[in-house]
Amino acid sequence: MKIKKSLAISETGFVFDPSTGDSYTLNPIGLEIIQLLREGKSREDITKAMTRTFDVDSLTFERYYFDFLGMLKQMQLVESDE
Amino acid sequence: MSKQKLTIAISGLNNVDSPGPGIPVIRGIRESVDIDPRIIGLAYENLEPGPYMREFVDKTYKVPYPSEGVDPLIERIRYIHEREQIDVLIPNFDSEIFVFIKLADKLGEMGIHTFLPTLSQFEERHKSNLPQYGEKHDITVPDSRPVTSFEDIEDLVRKGTFSWPLLVKGKFYDAYMARSADQARIYFNTVSAKWGLPVIVQEFIKGTEVNVVALGDGSGRTVGAVPMRKQYITDKGKAWGGITLDDPSMLDFTHHVMAATRWRGGMELELIRTPQNELYLIEINPRLPAWVYLAVAAGQNLPEALIKLAMGQKVPAWTRYDVGKIFIRYSFDMICDLDAFRKLSTTGEL
């Protein structure tokens, strides 16, 4: 899944979509995931990175991860061909 | 280089909760790097805030409502012109644009420049003509019909032309969403009592309202355009906060409208973006909107460019603006002396 190139994401987790004018606030975990997605990391890479940093097993993480991706899609924050 | 001294008459000074564009237009002109303006306010009411905002308006004259006829208005303008030598006049109310288009030649003979759409440009974009307008200029629009009675609305629904909800709109201002015949009757009566007939019935398009402020030079060229989304809307549907957008499709839409209609002057496009990302034109307002100062702040001083075009000067087209610029409107209690109110009420001048 590719995050919209035009999104402005600040270090504090403030996300601005210049095409709609919508803005969002991410918590630190959401911010980290978005940054990894932006770097083009795969699901496996992201899961590895997150389970290494946080006290969570891969199955639990992926459940929340797919929820999060669904939310990004619903909010049209991913490239439209996704 | 010294600034060009110009005397500019401006209406729409009702800087209230449903604001006229006068003060924001003046604000842009006052920030011009090329123009040193003397601003003459044209007011209709004694309590319009603009006349008392002395940092914006140098002198105010009350003028008769356009509905009182062309002759009293032109006589009043002539009186003001004799005292002030007006260079440019910018009307800012939808309801007065028609009269000033009619008066443009007379004003020109007096040496007063305007930069207004032509009568046919103004007439063809009326809400009641929207379907024909869309077809003529290849613009996507919702179905709209002028009606003169509530029974006409019932007929349109019975025949299946429209379904609930639908929009009931005044010919100049005001729009209400009617979800039932009972609501439609109430809104029809409200709107017709305020703005007269016809009342416009419009298909409801589900989506997000987005707007563009733009300026056309009359040749089909877009001098400037800034897209915006309202972020905070008052109960009157007015933007109380908004943000500039990076939306090439809205700019393409605007360039197409400008090129197809050869629009002359300021305009505001009211658009609906559907969830499928289609843009529908729901209205063209034939003047700069009250949020025009957002465009100035984003890098396009459209009021200044409008003055230059009126003066016959060449204006280059803008190609950029700042995205993510926000305006937040606020209210503020001005304290005025009774004497100022007395002067405007009794002499018609301040």
- The domain ranges of chain B are 4-115+333-347, 143-203, 206-328
Among B63, B69, B71, residue whose Cα is nearest residue B22:
B63
**What pLDDT is recorded for position B325?**
96
**What pLDDT is recorded for position B151?**
93
Is A18's CB within 8 Å of B323's CB? Answer: yes
Domain B143-203 has CATH 3.30.300.30: no
Which DSSP state fits A3? B
Instruction: Name the strand (E) or helix (H) holding B258.
Output: helix B248-261
Domain B4-115+333-347 has CATH 3.40.50.10490: no
Q: B184 or B173, which is more confident?
A: B184
The shortest C-alpha distance from A2 to chain B (Å) reads 19
Asked whether the beta carbons of B343 and B349 are under 8 A apart, the reply is yes
Which DSSP state fits B50? G
Q: At B235, is the pLDDT very low, low, confident or very high (cuts 50, 70, 90)?
A: confident
The shortest C-alpha distance from B243 to chain A (Å) reads 6
**What pLDDT is recorded for position B269?**
97
The shortest C-alpha distance from A20 to chain B (Å) reads 6
Alpha-carbon distances of B349 from B19, B47, B58, B319, rounded to whole Å: 22, 13, 11, 41
ipTM score assigned to the predicted complex: 0.76
Q: Which of B243, B252, B278, B322 to probe the A interface (max A CBs under 10 A)?
A: B243
Alpha-carbon distances of B117 from B70, B122, B218, B310, rounded to whole Å: 18, 6, 8, 12
CB of B18 less than 8 A from some CB of A: no
**What pLDDT is recorded for position A81?**
58
Give residue-wise pLDDT tens across range B308-332.
Answer: 999 999 999 999 999 999 999 999 9
Give residue-wise pLDDT tens across range B162-183.
Answer: 999 999 999 877 889 999 999 9
Residue corresponding to tokens 């003066």? B311
Q: At A2, is the pLDDT very low, low, confident or very high (cuts 50, 70, 90)?
A: confident
Q: At B17, is the pLDDT very low, low, confident or very high (cuts 50, 70, 90)?
A: confident
Q: Identify the architecture of domain B206-328 in CATH.
A: 2-Layer Sandwich (3.30)
**What pLDDT is recorded for position B69?**
85
**What pLDDT is recorded for position B30?**
97
